[in-house]
Amino acid sequence: HIAGSGGVVIADTDGSVIREFSPKGLISGITVDEDGSMFLCHATRVQHLDPEGKQVTLWGEAGKERGQFGYLTGIALSGAMLYLADAGNRRITRYAINGDYVDEIDGFSIPSAYFDCGIDGKGDLYVGHTSKHQVEKYDGNHELVEVWGEYGSDPEKFCGCCNPTHIAVYPDGNVATTEKGIPRLKVYGPYGNLLAYLSPEQLGLSPDPHFLKQLQENSDGSLPCHDGWPGMPLAVSKNLRLAVAIPGTGEIKIYRMDG
């Protein structure tokens, strides 16, 4: 399932389109239930679609009070619960899938419109705390149980003002991350040990300003980042393949872990 400015596309592993539909509004995140139902987050709303793309519910309102949204940038599903990463209000809000507010985790420092979350096979929550250059893990009681990551340009570290921009969590607790500015793709173990790393060159991308200027001029709109590449959304499939969206090019690259 691929969501973006043009709507939602369901494609197979070789890129052939199976089905597509165009919900109203810009989509900032998507998660899919076991039965194929989809939950989309827009800036201040959440939309539930059935497997055929028909709307089931649409809920949410803008604001700073409990249960309201500032600017949603990430969404994850755990059983009958949705976790919503709200970069505008700098918090993670938990809702039942029918739209009932449950609770929230606040206190995050989020300086840009990048804030992502994911769920492992045990139902634990992972959050990319961008200003701290960390990935944080919370249990079902919202207790912080694991923190890893630090600032730096080495492969295992996160550089720039606010990274990682996007995360994807494997069932076993491995975490894939991408970064803006200097585009890098990494996979970490559950405790932050680096398992795999791809540099911009290995991704086939260039951080050269002239290349970025050409890309910006050839795209439909401005890139949402002024210090290099924008963030690269990613997701883990059921067969443990890692799909990475390359902004501005219309490409989705598929990777698998060896070993």
- Whole-angstrom distance, CA of residue 47 vs CA of residue 99: 10
Q: What is the pLDDT of residues 119-162, one digit of tens each?
A: 999 999 999 999 999 999 999 889 999 999 999 999 999 998 89
Q: What is the pLDDT of residues 202-231, one digit of tens each?
A: 888 865 655 555 555 544 444 444 456 788
Question: Which of the 8 DSSP states describes residue 123?
Answer: -
- Whole-angstrom distance, CA of residue 230 vs CA of residue 112: 11
Query: Given this model, what pLDDT does residue 223 score?
Result: 43
Pick the CATH number of 1-90 from 3.40.50, 1.10.10, 2.40.128, 2.40.10: 2.40.10
Domain boundaries, given as residue ranges, for the chain: 1-90, 108-259
CATH topology of domain 108-259: Neuraminidase (2.120.10)
Choice among 28-42, 155-169, 191-205, 235-249 with the minimum mean pLDDT: 235-249
Residues 34-58, mean pLDDT to the nearest whole number: 93
Query: Given this model, what pLDDT does residue 153 score?
Result: 92
Per the model's pLDDT, the better-predicted residue between 210 and 117 turns out to be: 117
Is the confidence at residue 59, as pLDDT, over 60?
Answer: yes
Tokens 């559950």, residue located:
190
Q: Return the C-alpha torsion angle 144, 137, 70, 84, nearest 10.
A: -120
- Domains 1-90 and 108-259 fall in the same CATH topology: no
Cβ neighbours of 118 (radius 10 Å): 28
Choice among 6-15, 101-110, 148-157, 230-239 with the minimum mean pLDDT: 6-15
Average pLDDT of the chain to the nearest whole number:
87
